[in-house]
Amino acid sequence: MIEYWQKELETISRKDLEKLQLTRLWQTMERAEKSSFYQKVFAEYNISADKIQSLEDLKKLPFTTKDDLRNYYPFGMAAIPLKDCVRLHSSSGTTGNPTVVLHSAKDLDEWANQVARCMYMVGIRDTDIFQNTSGYGMFTGGLGFQYGAEKLGCLTVPSAAGNSKRQIKFITDFGTTCLHIIPSYAIRLAEVMLAEGIDPQRDTKLHTFCIGAEPHSEEQRQRIERMLGIKAYNCFGMSEMNGPGVAFECKEQNGLHIWEDYTIVEIIDPVTLEPVPDGEVGELVLTTINREAMPLIRYRTRDLTCILPGECKCGRTHKRIARFKGRSDDMIILKGVNIFPIQVEEILMQFKELGSNYLITMGTIDNNDEMLIEVELGDFSTDDYSRLQNLTRTITRHLKDELLITPRLKLVSKGSLPVQEGKVVRVVDLRVNS
Amino acid sequence: MTVNQISIFLENKYGKLNELLTLLSKENIRIIAATVADTTEFGILRMIVSDAQKAHQLLKDNNVSVNLTEVLAIAAQPAADGFADILSHFTKAGLSIEYMYCFSSKEKSVLILRTNNRESALEVIRKQNLKCITENDLMNL
């Protein structure tokens, strides 16, 4: 028997869902027109809500980009007076202006509901003790999960990021059952547990992890599940779309349901900007249809994914998107070949001899751009020299088949690559012309 | 007939070897013989130490990629043909030597070697009555 947080909305018929979407799109456009950005855009394109007859007409609307958010920093996207806003989240502005997302009280409540719906979907209940290892503050993974877990009724442990030994102490002392964690840090935490002589299955009550905020492979998920004896579910969010809760895996672990009563989802070819058919990879474009303070219309997320065709066994009618292929921004172009770091990870994780930590460095050697991949050995050592050489050769061959270029592979000893608690830097670009 | 050898995966990185050796010296583990095989990318450090089990545990606890390997340790005459004599027995039995190194102590020469077939090698030792060094001997060297 499958349980739902909001059965009617989660299993709504496609016809009713699309009707709801259209109504909410109209409301969104009417609200959006009050912001200085959309006022200008709608006038420029001569569009208004009454010109939208069906969801098909969405195509008539122009895209919104991250640059638009930057150019209208800080409050040019606000569709309601600031006095009616109760929270602001801002992304780090490493290049140019940061972006700002505003929330009304209702927006925060809806966001919490989205997250609660996701958590309920993977089996988290009000009897669970939920520890959130995200950074709090401006990073939406902190407060986003906090409010969602509270709405669901969990006992929450806002442990925030870092300090593995303290995290583990909380897990064992409080009997934490669920964790929100970045996948690379989940592996790190498991390693620290084992080093401390803690058996995750015997000494903890952990059963469910929500993992997200950085691209990871299926192999890495399975490794986390094996190391800790838990189930790990992929979550997706982005600060422009509130944060976590936009899409989440159900217990089928086959694609992430994207909540279509909150967002309209499109997948486009990032070059032609035309929609691509289901099953084909393209850029995810989202329209918020249940947000007051800052509606975004056809927002280009830069995330690459595809819609999984077919219905999900869990009974939810909301479309599923595939595991992310990376961000179009993360793409490395080397010798004219497009490469995503996740492709490298997928290959490396297939070798049980290897650990989980790796680093990709691009450099220029004798005017040639080269890729160096350093990867740590796992609990594996050998006296057999040729076995190490064969291993290097085999991995290199698999990488070449996947990437279409031949990287230089370097096996390094366990623990020798930098360990970061938080988002891990996997790619370093030292190329002369980069 | 065999002794335990410590094998360590070693990446080519400044200070790495020194770091490992310091670790052992702090725990009073003596290195009796050592050899490094290397390529441009990585090396394998092989060592005979005074207490292999202790060294193995210590290195493991310090996150070093290490394992214990059984190797043959055979006493050789310090004469010019001492090593050749011993090796010829293995060659005649059709065995290949994967690697070999040696050390001398108290006028005794010891040959550390690993062949491609452990069982046959042990048989050669028995048949030819070659003198082997044991773990106990190592502790007392």
B37 touches chain A (CB under 8 A): yes
Contact across the interface for B42 and A415, Cβ inside 8 Å: no
Q: How far is CA A269 from the centre of its chain?
A: 20
Q: What is the pTM for the complete model shown?
A: 0.69
**Confidence check: pLDDT of A338 > 80:** no
B40 inside 8 A of chain A by CB: no
Q: Which residue has the tokens 């070999």?
A: B100
pLDDT in tens, B87-126: 999 999 999 998 899 888 777 788 999 998 989 999 999 9
The two structure tokens encoding residue A260: 């279509």
- Please tell me if residue A411 touches chain B, with a CB cutoff of 8 Å: yes
CATH class of A332-429: alpha beta
More confident residue, A93 or A42: A42
Interval A198-233: pLDDT, tens: 999 999 999 999 998 777 888 889 999 999 999 999
Same fold, A1-265+290-296+316-325 and A332-429: no
Q: What is the ipTM of this complex?
A: 0.72
Residues 6+ apart with CB under 8 A from A273: A63
- Rg of chain B in Å (alpha carbons): 16
Work out the burial of residue A176: count CB atoms within 10 Å of its CB; fewer than 13 is exposed, 13-18 middle, 19 or more buried. buried
Closest CB to A380 among B41, B63, B65: B65
**E strand residue ranges, A269-387:** 282-288, 299-305, 307-308, 320-321, 326-327, 332-334, 337-339, 354-365, 368-377
Six token digits for residue B11: 């990446």
Residue A167: its pLDDT value, please?
A: 95
Class of domain A1-265+290-296+316-325: alpha beta
A261-308 confidence digits (pLDDT tens):
999 999 998 878 899 999 988 899 999 999 999 999 999 998 889 999
pLDDT tens track for A234-264: 999 888 999 999 999 999 999 999 999 999 9
For chain B, domains (ranges, CATH) are 2-68 (3.30.2130.10), 71-140 (3.30.2130.10)
Task: Provide the percentage of residues in chain A whose pLDDT is more than 90.
Answer: 65
| Residue A419 contacts B, CB cutoff 8 Å | no
- Rounded to an integer, what distance in angstroms lies between the CA atom of residue A104 and that of residue A84? 6
A43 has pLDDT over 90? yes
CB A282 within 8 A of CB A268: yes
| Nearest CB neighbour to A381, from listed B11, B39, B67 | B67
Which H or E run includes B113? strand B108-115
Cβ neighbour number for residue A220 with a 10 Å cutoff: 22
pLDDT at A364 over 60: yes
Segments making up each domain of chain A, as ranges: 1-265+290-296+316-325, 332-429
The mean-pLDDT minimum among A11-15, A157-161, A362-366, B130-134 falls in A362-366
Rounded Cα–Cα distance for residues A229 and A224 (Å) = 8
Suggest the residue from B5, B41, B64 to mutate for an interface test with chain A (most A CBs closer than 10 A). B41
B107 touches chain A (CB under 8 A): no
Indicate yes or no: CB of B63 within 8 angstroms of CB of A415.
Answer: yes
Distance between CA atoms of residues A214 and A236, nearest Å: 9
Q: To the nearest whole number, what is the mean pLDDT of chain A? A: 90
**Higher-confidence position of B134 and A337:** B134
For residues B20-28, average pLDDT:
91
